[in-house]
Chain A
Amino acid sequence: MTTAPSGLTGPAVAAAHEPDAARPSRKVPGGVGRGSAWYRRLTPYLFLLVPVGLLLLLTYAPVVNMFWYSVTDWDGLDKTKNFVGLENYVDVFTDPDNVRVFLVSLYYVVGSFVQMALALYFATILSFKVRFKNMWKGILFFPYLINGVAIGLIFLNFLKPGGGLDTVLLNTGLESLVHQWTGDPEVANYALAAVSVWRYTGLTFVMFLGAIQSINSDIYEAASLDGANRWHEFWHIILPSIRPIVGLAFILGISGSLSVFEIPYVMTGGANGTETFVIRTVWMAFQRNTVGLASAMAVVLLVFVLVVTWLQRRIVPDEEVDLT
């Protein structure tokens, strides 16, 4: 960046412009040097002040508040918040409706495995020599760049009866496959999970591709001298090399599945048996006006995600990759 040189010269220029009269007043010899050193040491902290301040204000303060709300019966408006202890947490686990929404997450967990398989497949193919490689990469990554709400609206029109998907099916003679994609409770969750897979495959793909491209090309060369085919290269070189990234994708997939929100919220609003944990949390907070209970649900989700992450770290240790 061009700011780097000016940043270095800045204090020097400032020091040069300092009036001479100021210097004799400094008690310590070499006051100018010390002054600017002190100033320079402070600079990074001044730069950090803004982002850290915003982080504290907009992330940590609300989280701390959330823990406090979760042990009260606050309705989101009342001036008084009564302490109710762990009652909200008991409610989270005893209300059968709250437990049911976790089952909906299973659709998305399965979806995240499909998503990883697809991403790995495309990443492997595109790491070899392929025509129009960058175009394919762009096409695969593009859905991730679109806002989730926009995706919801696009697919709402695509999946509605007589919409894009039905038209394609009719024109290709597959009438028997036409469904009410969000209206039929049997297929609604599959449809929504598929939209989610469509959206996030690009991100997983890019992570895998980055990891694969960091593999030293000499290893492939050596392998091909040993008579390895593409499948051998994938199984014995690529997969072991990117294992930590696969692990990461796995955590993100699981925690993401637990906290699915935008796509089902926009497309069905959680109706027709597609309600996810976060949609229910939002409903609890803003429709049922039980902010305390909703906060407890949010805390539970936070803990779940932490536990999943911790378990994953225990089961798949983050060891160094060594291909030699």
Chain B
Amino acid sequence: MFPQKRRTRVLAVVTASTLLALTAACSSGGGDQEANDDGTPSGELTVLTWRTDLVEDGTFDEYVEQFKAKYPEVTDVTVEGVTDYEGTVKTRMNTEDYGDVLAIPGSVTPDQLPDFFEPLGDQAEMEKEYRWLNDKSFEGKSYGIPVVGNVQGVVYNKRVWEEAGITEFPTTPQEFLDDLQAVKDKGIAVAPLYTNYKDAWALSQWEGWRGAVTANPDYVNEMTQTDTPWTEESDSGVIDGTIYDVVAQGLTEADPTTTDWEGSKRLLGVGDISAMVLGSWSIPQMQAAAEAAGADPADIAYMPTPSQVDGKFHTVAGGDYNLGINVHSKNKATARAWIDWFNHESGFSEAQVGLSPLIDGPVPAALEGFMAEVELITMNPAPEGKESLFADIDTASGIVTTDPKYRQQIIDDARSGARTKEQIFDDLNSRWAEGRADAGA
């Protein structure tokens, strides 16, 4: 019972890797001097990616082949798949050695972008070609381009829902609960809705409903202006209230502490669970798991956030990870060529059943039915000078809405009945108000 060194280990790891990376950066600095000033892509390139699965199955090898075929002067492209992408890359960014092209970690606040990434162009200019640049833009410059666009809602097993007699998308959170209850009454092996509580990040996916519930593209900005974001009608209140209700009504798995993400894909495919709240990026993974389990991948379908404004469903479309260029990169022209090639020619977004980041890009077949019924919303950027305000309040309040922890607490309370929904909302609101005061909002 004594991992005595633990107290220092966390920081030791951080600093040690920093020091090691520094030395590595210094030692490799000498060989990379062949910077190309004429702008022709050439030389070596290092790409960091979070898709370790695509590195392992050879998809990236094909991308590299195609890229090198287009730019014969490029001698080598090293693709580094990074597990725990957020944590690892953030630590590496304390050095200069974090690849040439990389996905911008989510914890980088907009005002930090110029410190770490090369500007790719003026946002206004680039918006003629690309969508969803708001997230990674600061003071009129864009620092990243999303590789694929996602829509947000619920991935579900169509066959199971139809067997329970449900053919229409639920239009209110209450209807969503009733439908799940109907699925449960019909009999289901595990649960109508699976929370993936143990692999907590999945709970953060509910965040995607923000803005869609009230069809308000300014919702997140307005959160910074109120002391009570959690009410019966607000987006946050509907999202977290729905989580509380599904759990309190026993529509989720019996023991959330032992959920299993990899296993949940198969369970959805074979119909042992009927729905999960995840972004549209999850569709291809669910289909693959369904196929592997001998079920029909066509059963996997997508439904919008169960809420309508003026009789229409809405969904927030937004960029997945954004590719950016390391500001310390020695080969920026090639890095830029990689990003452009990736967005225009790699076919990545179609392969991932996502929306193309290009304005006139194609809509994938699996989403066509969904897109026909749903209106897309793109969240508005924070006003000038307040780019980091949301993150500051979020951190200062200690809630950290981007982190699943407070939702795990909601699920704990809903199961044990330790707190009512109202008590939870009151607590969240008072902490949010405190956070606003601390952050000087």
Seen from chain A, the residues whose Cβ lies within 8 Å of a Cβ on chain B are 57-59, 61-63, 65-66, 69, 75-79, 95, 97, 108, 111-112, 115, 148, 156, 159-161, 180, 182-183, 185, 188, 196-197, 199-200, 252-253, 255-257, 259-262, 268-269, 271-273, 278, 281-283, 285-291, 294-295, 298, 301-302, 305
Closest 4 CB pairs of A and B: A256-B2, A183-B255, A62-B15, A256-B1
Given known pairs A285-B10, A290-B395, A298-B7, the reply for A271 and B19 (CB within 8 Å) is no
Distance to closest chain B CB from A45 (angstroms)? 23
Chain A residues with CB under 8 A of B200: 269, 271
Distance to closest chain B CB from A115 (angstroms)? 6
Q: Are A252 and B4 in contact (CB under 8 A)?
A: yes
Q: Give the distance in Å from the alpha carbon of A294 to the alpha carbon of B6 in the complex.
A: 13
Q: Give the distance in Å from the alpha carbon of A148 to the alpha carbon of B256 in the complex.
A: 23
Interface string of B163-181 (1 = CB under 8 A from A): 0000000000000000000
Chain B residues with CB under 8 A of A66: 8, 11
Chain B residues with CB under 8 A of A112: 1
Q: Give the distance in Å from the alpha carbon of A61 to the alpha carbon of B17 in the complex.
A: 12
Instruction: Choose from B2, B90, B198, B416 the contact partner of A76 (Cβ within 8 Å).
Output: B90
Chain A residues with CB under 8 A of B115: 78-79
Please count how many residues in chain B sit with their CB below 8 Å of the partner chain's CB atoms: 41
Q: Are A180 and B255 in contact (CB under 8 A)?
A: yes
Q: Are A259 and B3 in contact (CB under 8 A)?
A: yes
Instruction: Choose from B16, B109, B405 the contact partner of A62 (Cβ within 8 Å).
Output: B16
Q: Are B1 and A77 in contact (CB under 8 A)?
A: no
Distance to closest chain B CB from A259 (angstroms)? 5
Q: Are A260 and B256 in contact (CB under 8 A)?
A: no
Q: Give the distance in Å from the alpha carbon of A196 to the alpha carbon of B2 in the complex.
A: 9
Q: Give the distance in Å from the alpha carbon of A224 to the alpha carbon of B107 in the complex.
A: 70
Distance to closest chain A CB from B175 (angstroms)? 29
Q: Are B107 and A160 in contact (CB under 8 A)?
A: no
- Main SS class of interface, B: helix
Could you list 7 A-B pairs, sorted by A, with CB under 8 Å? A77-B107, A77-B116, A97-B398, A112-B1, A180-B257, A183-B258, A281-B7
Given known pairs A256-B4, A260-B1, A261-B3, the reply for A272 and B408 (CB within 8 Å) is yes
Q: Are A161 and B254 in contact (CB under 8 A)?
A: yes
Instruction: Choose from A252, A261, A287 the contact partner of B400 (Cβ within 8 Å).
Output: A287
Q: Are B412 and A57 in contact (CB under 8 A)?
A: no
Q: Are B254 and A115 in contact (CB under 8 A)?
A: no
B313 is an interface residue with CB less than 8 A from chain A: no
Distance to closest chain A CB from B392 (angstroms)? 10
Q: Give the distance in Å from the alpha carbon of A258 to the alpha carbon of B7 in the complex.
A: 10
* Chain B, range 1-42, C-beta contacts under 8 Å to A: 1-4, 6-8, 10-12, 14-16, 19
Q: Give the distance in Å from the alpha carbon of A287 to the alpha carbon of B257 in the complex.
A: 20
Q: Are B395 and A271 in contact (CB under 8 A)?
A: no
Q: Are B257 and A286 in contact (CB under 8 A)?
A: no
Q: Are A256 and B3 in contact (CB under 8 A)?
A: yes
Chain B residues with CB under 8 A of A262: 3
Q: Give the distance in Å from the alpha carbon of A257 to the alpha carbon of B91 in the complex.
A: 29
Q: Are B11 and A295 in contact (CB under 8 A)?
A: yes
Q: Give the distance in Å from the alpha carbon of A283 to the alpha carbon of B404 in the complex.
A: 11
Q: Are A272 and B15 in contact (CB under 8 A)?
A: no
Chain B residues with CB under 8 A of A305: 4, 7
Closest to B15 in A: A62
Q: Are A185 and B416 in contact (CB under 8 A)?
A: yes
Q: Are B7 and A302 in contact (CB under 8 A)?
A: yes
Closest to A67 in B: B11
Chain A residues with CB under 8 A of B416: 185
Q: Are B2 and A261 in contact (CB under 8 A)?
A: no
Q: Are B398 and A259 in contact (CB under 8 A)?
A: no
Chain B residues with CB under 8 A of A79: 112, 115
Q: Are B395 and A281 in contact (CB under 8 A)?
A: no
